[in-house]
Amino acid sequence: MTFRNNATWLAVFLTALVVVQGCEAPDDRPNILFIFSDDHSSAAISAYGSVLNNTPHIDRIAREGIRLDRYLVTNSICAPSRATILTGKYSHENGQLTNFETFDGNQQTFPKLLQQAGYQTAMIGKWHLRSVPTGFDYSNVLIGQGPYYNPRMILNGVDTVSHEGYTTDIVTDMALDWLRQDRDSGKPFLAMVQHKAPHRPWDPGPDQLALFDDETLPQPSTFRDNYDTRSSAAAAANMRVATNLVARDLKIEAGPGNLNEEQQARWDAAYGPRNEALRDALERGDMDDEALVDWKYQRYVKDYLRTVASMDENIGRILDYLEETGLAENTIVIYSSDQGWYLGEHGWYDKRWMFEPSLRAPFVARWPGHIPDGSVSAAMTSNVDLASTFLDLAGAPQPPDLHGKSMMPVLLGEEGEDAFRESFYYHYYEYPGSHCVQRHYGVRTDRYKLIYYYEIDEWELFDLDVDPDEVNNRYADPAMQSIVTELTTELDRLRQDLDVPADTRPMAECTSDSAGWFGFGDE
Ligand code: CA
């Protein structure tokens, strides 16, 4: 090797110095703490204006960071949402169309890419994808849905370990233990802390059993929806608070079934007298059918909110730990859920629909010095954008096959709301599955939503500006035909862009989940 002059030698020396120093410099890429729940509606978060409950710790993340008001999911159901987050791709591409497939963990996921980029990765809590977690240096996950109490969990894909206590507390304890003991301080981390709560059957923790006892919570305005003008799918779905909640959901002579003596005693002390009072009222004839429906709503929503209260408190424990250790400074903390949820809107519980309560999920994020305090954005962001976003945060390359894009310009307040995405594609596949919600796809824009129930060939069009509750289907309205044409063209374009194949899976008879609890003696 020859060098032309001393200046070249100097350049080589300086380059080498920069490389050496680069290796020794601390890795100051941000840590990512992704706190995630199952089925949490924004309507049960005070930062989103809940009229039902208070969530001071989730609110704190929003207050010190950003709240996204139009964070939409591509397919509103548990496992498909998780697969979309991990892969940054729609269901037809990642293979997780419904809750019933096993996630192919051999495919590209963002935790694997972060791991390759030098992040230490951990997955703690509810995984719900059947296959063993891949791309994690540490995993400790619930089996399937997992119970609310005394869960068995699988450590690093191998060892099954039984734990005693309330699952929300246990998952948080594990996350804190990992941060304290197992974190490699020489690397940035990705920690996914994923709760079972507030998923059905909404079993409250021992400390929240009495919450809301003396309150009567308000019902949403569409609680007694008659489904007029909607597709036939709406009335046919088996997910009504009035008729489909079963005795186990309502805690009528049926609890978790795996409680220890002390847990059982506290459970019985809470539900025993309440159920006796109900039995007495029904026997006295004090409650007609409508009053019983109102009672079911109270029991359902209170139990749901009790599981949220425990989760919020546990999020506070993690935020406190980050403050105490100084980790808060360079950690982006996110709280989100796998989809939205019905807290009685349209008379329903559960999710699945492209309607707003289940299409929109909560998403709040804090990163001190980067995300401006108290920001709010209505940009149409999505769970399909998370993989890109996390890779962007880590300064890692973006694979060309991702369907989403980095939300960082939105989070940092660098991009206007309208610039991020003008139209969003949605596709739900699980019919009949649970609740018999028809398969559908559709497009949402800033103002409109067009939905196509393709197995029954029925359409819906909603003008969200004047009809935010989506109760007035205007698809056949002559005044709306130019909008229908425009949106149909956009829907076709999105399906083509995303290369969505025709859904040729066979249909089956809808039989699931139709028989609810109607009174003592029925169970
Ligand atoms: Ca879910």
Q: What whole-number distance in Å separates Cα of residue 15 and Cα of residue 21?
A: 10
CB atoms within 10 A of CB 498: 16
- pLDDT recorded at residue 261: 97
Separation of CA 510 and ligand 1 centre (Å): 21
Look at strands 159-162 and 423-428 and give their pairing: unpaired
Q: What whole-number distance in Å separates Cα of residue 441 and Cα of residue 491?
A: 9
Separation of CA 26 and ligand 1 centre (Å): 38
- pLDDT recorded at residue 201: 97
Separation of CA 446 and ligand 1 centre (Å): 25
Q: What whole-number distance in Å separates Cα of residue 523 and Cα of residue 518?
A: 8
Sheet holding 152-155, edge to edge: 159-162, 152-155, 138-142, 120-125, 189-194, 31-37, 331-337, 363-366, 66-68, 375-377
Separation of CA 39 and ligand 1 centre (Å): 4
Q: Tell me: the pLDDT tens digits for 117-149? A: 999 999 999 999 999 999 999 999 999 999 999
Separation of CA 282 and ligand 1 centre (Å): 34
Separation of CA 78 and ligand 1 centre (Å): 4
Separation of CA 41 and ligand 1 centre (Å): 10
Tokens of 90: 């729609």
Superfamily of the domain at 6-203+299-422: Alkaline Phosphatase, subunit A (3.40.720.10)
- pLDDT recorded at residue 419: 87
Separation of CA 438 and ligand 1 centre (Å): 18
Separation of CA 84 and ligand 1 centre (Å): 13
Integer CA distances (angstroms), 244 to 248, 434, 435, in order: 11, 11, 9
Closest CA to 367 of 329, 319, 407: 329
- pLDDT recorded at residue 514: 66
Separation of CA 76 and ligand 1 centre (Å): 8
87, 94 contact by CB (below 8 A): yes
Separation of CA 404 and ligand 1 centre (Å): 20
Separation of CA 73 and ligand 1 centre (Å): 11
Separation of CA 340 and ligand 1 centre (Å): 8
Separation of CA 341 and ligand 1 centre (Å): 8
Q: Tell me: the pLDDT tens digits for 292-341? A: 999 999 999 999 999 999 999 999 999 999 999 999 999 999 999 999 99
How many residues belong to the chain? 523
Separation of CA 1 and ligand 1 centre (Å): 62
**CB-hemisphere CA count at 13 Å for 450?**
22
Q: What whole-number distance in Å separates Cα of residue 50 and Cα of residue 159?
A: 41
CA-angle at 103, arms to 493 and 511, nearest 5°: 80
Separation of CA 338 and ligand 1 centre (Å): 5
DSSP notation for 57-115: HHHHHHHTSEEES-EE-SS-SHHHHHHHHHHTS-HHHHS--STTSPP-TTS--HHHHHH
Separation of CA 22 and ligand 1 centre (Å): 43
Separation of CA 454 and ligand 1 centre (Å): 24
Separation of CA 185 and ligand 1 centre (Å): 33
- pLDDT recorded at residue 16: 47
- pLDDT recorded at residue 513: 59
Q: What whole-number distance in Å separates Cα of residue 333 and Cα of residue 318?
A: 10
- Name the residue ranges covered by the structural domains of the chain: 6-203+299-422
Separation of CA 435 and ligand 1 centre (Å): 14
Separation of CA 79 and ligand 1 centre (Å): 7
Separation of CA 181 and ligand 1 centre (Å): 30
- Which sign, positive or negative, has the C-alpha torsion 97, 87, 404, 64? positive
Separation of CA 278 and ligand 1 centre (Å): 30
Query: Residue 452 forms beta bridges with which residues?
Result: 441, 459
- Region of 131 please: left (phi>0), alpha (psi -120 to 50) or beta: beta
Separation of CA 350 and ligand 1 centre (Å): 9
- pLDDT recorded at residue 485: 98
Separation of CA 351 and ligand 1 centre (Å): 8
CA-angle at 157, arms to 120 and 403, nearest 5°: 60
One pLDDT digit (tens) per residue for the chain, 523 residues: 344 445 444 444 444 444 444 455 788 999 999 999 999 999 999 999 999 999 999 999 999 999 999 999 999 999 999 999 999 999 999 999 999 999 999 999 999 999 999 999 999 999 999 999 999 999 999 999 999 999 999 999 999 999 999 999 999 999 999 999 999 999 999 999 999 999 999 999 999 999 999 999 999 999 999 999 999 999 999 999 999 999 999 999 779 999 999 999 999 999 999 999 999 999 999 999 999 999 999 999 999 999 999 999 999 999 999 999 999 999 999 999 999 999 999 999 999 999 999 999 999 999 999 999 999 999 999 999 999 999 999 999 999 999 999 999 999 999 877 889 999 999 999 999 889 999 999 999 999 999 999 999 999 999 999 999 999 999 999 999 999 999 999 999 999 999 999 999 988 888 765 678 888 865 4
443, 449 contact by CB (below 8 A): yes
- pLDDT recorded at residue 8: 46
- pLDDT recorded at residue 382: 98
- pLDDT recorded at residue 518: 83
Separation of CA 127 and ligand 1 centre (Å): 11
Separation of CA 339 and ligand 1 centre (Å): 6
